[in-house]
Chains A and B, each alone.
Chain A
Amino acid sequence: MSVGFLFVGRLGEYIAKLQQVTEEDVNESLLQIIRDHEEVITNMNTDQLWEGERPDGSMLPDYSPTSVQVFGKPEGPIRLFDQGDFYRGIFLDADQFPVMFEGRDEKTEMLKSDYGAILGINEENLRELNQSYLKDEILSYFARILSPL
């Protein structure tokens, strides 16, 4: 058996492997990685809200003096936290792209309507998510599907 024949044969196997890389498979693998990190991602969202920050970096308005004095809310930006139902209800709909941040709590739509885009993560958290959680996993998935055999 010649070296050339071996080379062409292995190349054929590699081509067959690369042909299996479809957009659907890549989508599904990335979506699975997202689903695996859902808790980290939604926690980042609630951490932001606890600081009164929207995903675009803008701040929620401050609690009114009545909220602070009568209802015992802290001074500073609104946290959208009362009993925690809204925070606990945040989840990712990662069945397909685009992935959506959603809320199970019945107040979610009202809060979105009152306070704008509150679901999602900001740039700082996206960087953190990339560096600490997703980058290595995505790259090792890439390496797996692109490695020759």
Chain B
Amino acid sequence: MKSLAILRGSYHHYETITLKTFIEVANSGDLRPLLIKGRYDHEEAVEKWERIIQLNAKANGSFNFDQYFYLYKSYLLLVAKHTKVRALLWRLAHNPIDYTVVQEVRECGYKVDMTNSITLAQSVERAFRQSDNLITKYNSKKNELDRLTGSEQKEEGPKETFDDIWAALSLAVAPMIIQDDIRLSQYNALKKRIEKQSKARKNGVKHG
């Protein structure tokens, strides 16, 4: 039997995605390149992509603005999906031999067991229950949205990450070499480092 780890997809995150892939996904809207291995799940990919976008925006100073619209978008898409799944399940409950609906419910990620009327009823009931997970998900988006546009957010102190250290090393050892496989986080850290050094140089010239 295959383990869940094999069935579940493994995706890029902010620290692993290359700049090249980031640009490709941002421009095409196709999230599949985020998948490293395993089975692709669009909802999971959306979550991973949102997180990458958030961290990238944070690194570039436009965090709140981007975050605001991504949260609204995610919220709406989750509400729409939940409403659609419920509507499909209602339809299936009233008209169990509609194979188009069965297929659509399956495409939404829910199992429909057509073995007999009892298994069908049980699977529809289970799908109803499982679809409520979407409520938890969209409420969590709504809460994040409220937090962002409501109460004050506490700023965390700056942390030296591995990428910051890598950026410093890259600058020291081989300045301005941007490899094809540079990761997005490395690129942002490197960019900051270059800006800082350029500023320091300018100040040095001014004061020198």
Contact = CB atoms under 8 A, between A and B. Distances in A.
Nearest to A101: B62
Chain A contact residues: helix, strand, loop or mixed: helix
A123 B94 CA distance: 49
Nearest to B72: A138
- Among B66, B69, B150, the one with the most A-chain Cβ atoms within 10 Å of its Cβ is B69
- Among B26, B53, B65, B73, the one with the most A-chain Cβ atoms within 10 Å of its Cβ is B65
A114 B72 contact: no
29 contacts: A4-B94, A21-B76, A24-B29, A26-B73, A27-B29, A30-B69, A30-B73, A55-B62, A97-B26, A97-B53, A97-B66, A98-B53, A98-B56, A98-B62, A99-B69, A101-B62, A113-B195, A114-B199, A116-B61, A117-B61, A120-B62, A122-B64, A123-B152, A126-B148, A127-B149, A130-B68, A131-B149, A145-B76, A145-B80
Report the interface size class on chain B. 35 or more
B76 A19 contact: no
B202 interface: yes
Report the interface size class on chain A. 35 or more
List 10 tightest A-B contacts by C-beta distance, closest first. Answer: A117-B61, A18-B84, A130-B149, A21-B80, A120-B62, A98-B66, A15-B87, A127-B149, A11-B91, A126-B64
A116 B29 CA distance: 29
Nearest to A124: B152
A120 B68 CA distance: 13
Given A15-B88, A99-B65, A120-B65, A114 B202 contact: yes
Given A26-B73, A30-B73, A113-B195, A18 B80 contact: yes
Given A97-B69, A126-B68, A126-B149, 9 more contacts: A24-B29, A55-B64, A96-B27, A99-B66, A113-B195, A116-B195, A117-B61, A123-B153, A130-B149
Nearest to A98: B66
A26 B72 CA distance: 10
B70 interface: yes
A52 to B, nearest CB: 16
A128 to B, nearest CB: 9
B90 interface: yes
B57 interface: yes
B190 to A, nearest CB: 15
B77 A26 contact: yes
Nearest to B94: A8
B87 A11 contact: yes
Nearest to B75: A142
A113 to B, nearest CB: 6
A6 B4 CA distance: 43
B95 interface: yes
A90 interface: no
A8 B95 contact: yes
